[in-house]
Amino acid sequence: MAHQLLFDFVADARAVLELPDPVVEFGSLQVEPDQPGDLRSLFEGRDFTGTDMRPGSGVDRVEDLRGLSLGDGSVGTALCLDTLEHCEDPLQACRELHRVTAPDGVCIISSVMLLGIHAYPSDYWRFTPEGLRVLLAPFDERWAVGFGDPSAPFFVFGVGSKQRKLDLSLDSFPKLAAAQQRYERAEGKVRLGPTRLSLRELGGTLTRELPRALRQRASARLRGRG
């Protein structure tokens, strides 16, 4: 799910970090028609390969993250974005990402946390920022951050490196930092827990959910009388 926030995060990473070739995306299948674009557009003219567990749009070769056919240290920049939640064994997947990442290479990962089940084709896991640090544990340097409410982030982002320093903070990623500031200001929006809704979105939610809630309450009262 290459949502705009993810796309901007990779664009920020490209600007602030030296991302060596070859660039390999793990989980490159474009499963939604309204995605902001194949991430390869951020690496135009570069050695870029898109891989996924099944063929389709955006996939140059089929690979299983649990056992990659790529050689040790053969990847300069590994991208694994909104994919690990769909992998049955994310710890093994990240060990494989570490194995194929070259010395002085970088691995950029992201995943969802506060998001409903989305089967592409299956959905197994949710990760906190600390969870991403655990996944990146094989790397020499690791950094992770959540987007949204610190107690319940919507998305989490992480970077691992081999034999090189990172020295990263949220401010290193200006697009992500600006999005976080907009979330915190919530201008013109209603705050409902970690969610920020415009009045129009709130009205649509109430229109959809209020009748269901009333039916459930009425049903509970009838059961209580029985």
Do 81 and 8 form a contact (C-beta atoms < 8 A)?
no
Residue 1: pLDDT band with limits 50, 70, 90: very low
Whole-number pLDDT of residue 7: 92
Asked whether residue 13 carries a pLDDT value surpassing 90, the answer given is: yes
Choice between 138 and 213, residue whose per-residue pLDDT is larger: 138
Q: Give the CATH architecture of domain 4-185.
A: 3-Layer(aba) Sandwich (3.40)
Q: How far apart are CA 8 and CA 39, in angstroms?
A: 10
pLDDT at 193: 78
Residue 2, pLDDT above cutoff 60: no
Contact present, 74 and 102 (Cβ < 8 Å) = yes
Residue 107 in this model has a pLDDT that exceeds 70: yes
Counting other chains too, the contacts that 181-189 makes at CB distance below 8 Å and 24 or more residues apart are 183/147, 183/148
For the chain, give every domain's residue range: 4-185, 189-225
